[in-house]
Amino acid sequence: MIKPDLVCPAGTPAALRDAVDAGADCVYCGFQNATNARNFPGLNFTPDELDRGIAYAHARGAKVLVALNTFPPAGKFELWRQAVDGAVARGADALIVADIGVASYAAEAHPDTRLHLSVQASASSPEAIKYYCREFGVRRVVLPRILTIPEIKAIAQAIPCEIEAFIFGNHGLMLEGRCSLTNYVTGQSTNMDGVCSPAADVKFEPLPDGGMASRLGGHMLDCFGAGDKAGYPTLCKGRYVAPCRSEPYYAFEEPLSLNLAPMLADLIHAGVHAFKIEGRQRSRAYVQKVVAAFREAIDDVSDGRAPRVADLIGLTEGQKQTEGAYKSKRWR
């Protein structure tokens, strides 16, 4: 039986050290620019910080994966080229790429560096995955969060590379890497600028009843009552009015998080090589708690024990969690 790698997020150098200390096998992070999909204010690594982060991780037996998982628009490829070269020069253990051009450059310029295919590439069939393996020698694919366990198993048997699957964190609804909703209302592109609902365009307005309205680019996303739980201020987590509904409803998804703690053994049997925790935008407190909890759970499962998973509901979006698409096709 494979003992999967635990792959953990780090938005800052401190979070990277915390993730390593809490038992991460791999930590993923990005540079402070549009070359990664969490290009948020105050987040990410300078080249020097990456240097020190990699040294810290390697000294403790952990690996560092650098996310270069956005799509350079024509005329701006140079920034991505520098990021690829910079990450390799600093000893990154793998590059997580989404764009065909970036993958092609990395494969050509650094044939010995491992390439992982980001979830942003939205490769959700064996053939799509095999395309990237054949063309660029991709060694691992991060699967979209839309597949059931039997589907993952079928894919694992049909592809020549490893599988990484999300087990905890933000529950992405739209096919990742194929969503222009943010650009539609803000002029900033998720694919090209690495932002999803950029904070600069988010406004929270107090309401007279103690509630709160959230807006993105001036458009209302949701109104929360005083006691309602909230989610990220994104268009896909907003509440809308439709002709066939009498009340506003979550047209795409309620605010909730993915938590696959109960299904770790199933995922291992399906052939998953790495478990990924989402959340480079989250704090050290989140990283410490979630990584420690899943470290223990994975060790339990690998040793044939029933996994104990600490209660993580307090950290989840909308304070609700789901097994999402992994559990049942009825999610679709």
Partner 1 sequence: MEQARAPEITLGPVLFHWPAAFMRDFYARIADEAPVSAVYVGEVVCSKRSPFLDPHIPEIVERLQRAGKKVVLSSLAEVVLPREREMMSALCRLQNCEIEINDAAGTYFRAGSPHRIGQYFNLYNERTLEVLVRGGATHVTLPCELPRGSVASMAARARELGVGVEVQVFGRAPLALSARCYHARAHGRVKDNCQFVCGDDTDGMNLKTIDGESLLTVNGVQTLSHPYLCLIAELPDLIASGVNAMRLSPHMLNMVEVASIFDETLHRRMAPDAALSRLRAIVGAPGLMNGFWHQQPGGIYVM
Partner 2 sequence: MAPLSGALQRLLARLARKIATDNPSVFDRIGPHVATRFIIDPVNLPIVLYLEPRREAPVLRAYLRSNAPQSDAQIAASLWQLMRMIDGEEDGDAMFFSRDLKVSGNTEAVVALRNALDDLDRPLAEQAAAQFGAVGRGALALARHIAARKPFRGAQP
Largest CA distance in the chain: 60
Residue 56 or 331 with smaller CB distance to partner 1: 331
Considering only residues 270-289, where is the footprint of partner 2 by CB under 8 A?
A: 281-286, 289
Residue 15 or 24 with smaller CB distance to partner 2: 15
Residues 6+ apart with CB under 8 A from 3: 268, 298, 302
Pick from partner 2, partner 1, none: which does 202 bind, CB < 5 to 8 A by kind? partner 2
Which of 4, 11, 172, 194 is the binder for partner 2 (CB under 8 A)? 11
Pick from partner 2, partner 1, none: which does 281 bind, CB < 5 to 8 A by kind? partner 2
Considering only residues 86-145, where is the footprint of partner 2 by CB under 8 A?
A: none
Give the H or E element holding residue 136.
helix 126-136
Structure tokens, 40 = 């948020």
The answer to whether 219 and 269 are in contact (CB under 8 A) is no
Q: Is 224 in the site for partner 2 (CB under 8 A)?
A: yes
In sign, the C-alpha dihedral spanning 197, 164, 137, 127 is negative
| Amino acid found at 139 | R
Pick from partner 1, partner 2, none: which does 15 bind, CB < 5 to 8 A by kind? partner 2
Pick from partner 2, partner 1, none: which does 228 bind, CB < 5 to 8 A by kind? partner 2
Query: Considering CB under 8 A, how many residues would be counted as binding partner 2?
Result: 41
Of 20-28, 128-136, 141-149, 193-201, which part binds partner 2 (CB under 8 A)? Answer: 193-201
Q: Please list the residues that pair with 116 across neighbouring strands.
A: 96, 140
Rounded to a whole number of angstroms, the minimum distance from the CB of residue 1 to partner 2 is 33
Which of 30, 144, 172, 198 is the binder for partner 2 (CB under 8 A)? 198
Rounded to a whole number of angstroms, the minimum distance from the CB of residue 270 to partner 2 is 30
Rounded to a whole number of angstroms, the minimum distance from the CB of residue 159 to partner 1 is 11
Q: Is 319 in the site for partner 2 (CB under 8 A)?
A: yes
Rounded to a whole number of angstroms, the minimum distance from the CB of residue 23 to partner 1 is 32
Residue with tokens 């999300």: 166
Residues 6+ apart with CB under 8 A from 313: 319, 320, 321
Q: What is the DSSP-derived secondary structure letter of residue 72?
A: P
Of 19-27, 41-49, 137-145, 147-155, which part binds partner 2 (CB under 8 A)? Answer: 41-49
Residue 15: exposure state from Cβ atoms within 10 A (0-12, 13-18, ≥19): buried
| Amino acid found at 224 | F
Of the candidates 74, 95, 77, which has an alpha carbon nearest to the alpha carbon of residue 31?
95
Long-range (24+ apart) CB contacts under 8 A made by 223-227 are 223/248
Binding site for partner 2 (CB under 8 A): 11-15, 40-43, 46, 198-200, 202-206, 212, 224, 226-232, 255, 281-286, 289, 314-319
